[in-house]
Amino acid sequence: MILVSNNLRNYMRMPDHYVIRVNLAWTFSLEDLVENLNIHPNDFFIDIPSGRTKPPSNKYSLEKLYPIFTERPNVRYLGISNVEKSSQIVNWQLFGARPILVPKIESIAGVENIDEIMSVIKTEKIIMIDHDDLHTSLINNGVSPSKLYSDYIDPLLKYCDDNNIAALRTRGIVFSDE
């Protein structure tokens, strides 16, 4: 899967096989979200910024989002930010098989509880790993950042390989002067 930021579409046409990521923290109205979903053929990955401490944050309730997501088959994935335990994603399972829930692992607790988190996912198993926020979590918890890969990322990737879980990771950043 190639997952690209919705913002990139402002600068170039996205091939239909790319999945477009929309972070609801940066979605300023549900009308804009609906228009976006209606005019593009791509599958969408909607990122729910739960537990976000930096602005902006998600302001949309599950009740408001439910009809939007269920009425549009191109809403294929639903990323839930800051997942540290399974109870944080249980409410989102009301969607059933679609959209596919994708826990976003951003902290030490998320890595340590990955088995419990994934035990409640009943559809295709995918996680998103946020290297930057995981790095910050290490620092905030007094863990040397040099352990990021050896003690956290590498074991998490091995867990994913051993359990047939796709791991979405950052693969570079796009810079532009346009």
Task: Catalogue all structural domains in the chain, each as residue range(s) with its CATH number.
Answer: 3-168 (3.20.20.60)
Q: What is the model's pLDDT at position 54?
A: 64
Give the closest residue to 89 by CA, choosing from 53, 57, 128, 55: 128
Token duo for residue 29: 């109205």
Kindly tell me if the per-residue pLDDT of 79 is higher than 70: yes
Q: What is the model's pLDDT at position 61?
A: 83
What are the residues whose beta carbons fall under 8 Å from the beta carbon of 117, sequence distance 6 or more? 83, 84, 85, 86, 89, 103, 105, 110
Token duo for residue 167: 């791991």
Q: What is the model's pLDDT at position 116?
A: 96
pTM for the structure as a whole:
0.89
What are the residues whose beta carbons fall under 8 Å from the beta carbon of 123, sequence distance 6 or more? 97, 98, 100, 101
